[in-house]
Amino acid sequence: MTIETFLTQLCEHCGVAKEDIKLDIENLESEIIIDLHLPEEDSGIFIGHHGEGIDSIQRLLRIIFQDDTSKDTDKKITLNINNYREKRSDRLKDLTYTIGNKVLQTGNPYTFNSYLPAHERFIVHSTLSEEPGFGELESVSSGDGRNRKLTIQLKK
């Protein structure tokens, strides 16, 4: 079975018509990038709350197809549905700017109240470190697993 067949059958099983499924797979040297385009009304089922669905499907793809993708190197599989990852990244950057400015104004730290996966924490860390106006700020992760929290605070 191929990645394309697996995803198409998964979508069809969840009620998406085959003609409404558009799949682009880019097989790079160290990564396979999968862009899945579905009708907006169906995409929420696959993306899930804060991307939990898309991350779970991506994890399944890595497990199911690891033998096919790791013959020469350990290829990473990245799944994107209706450009969710770009949109989420943009929202996180905007949120980081808003929170960063608030922390600078008040001096009070801000802790995200929901879990952020590693790649989303990285976006926040990177946004803070790349913005010259945020030189007084730092982002700190604490806790383990699903209890890991991210705090933006003034540097100590």
Domain spans of the chain? Answer: 3-82, 87-154
- In 10 A of CB 153, how many CB atoms? 16
Contact 64, 2 (CB under 8 A): no
Choices 3.40.50.720, 3.30.1370.50, 3.40.50.261, 1.10.10.10: CATH for 87-154 = 3.30.1370.50
Q: What's the rounded Cα separation, in Å, for the pair 25 and 19?
A: 17
Per-residue tokens: 40: 């907006």
**What CATH number does the domain located at 3-82 have?**
3.30.300.20
The pLDDT, as a whole number, for residue 4 is: 95
Which tens digits make up the pLDDT trace of 8-25? 999 999 999 999 999 999
The pLDDT, as a whole number, for residue 70 is: 53
Residue 72 pLDDT > 70, yes or no?
Answer: no
DSSP code at position 50:
G
**23-34 as b/e: b if 16+ CB within 10 A:** eeeeeeeeebeb
- In 10 A of CB 11, how many CB atoms? 21
Residue 71 pLDDT > 60, yes or no?
Answer: no
Q: Do domains 3-82 and 87-154 have the same CATH topology?
A: no
Which tens digits make up the pLDDT trace of 42-64? 999 999 988 899 999 999 999 99
Global confidence as pTM: 0.81
Partner residues linked to 77 by β-bridges? 32
Mean pLDDT of the chain, nearest integer: 92
Which tens digits make up the pLDDT trace of 106-128? 999 999 988 888 889 999 999 99
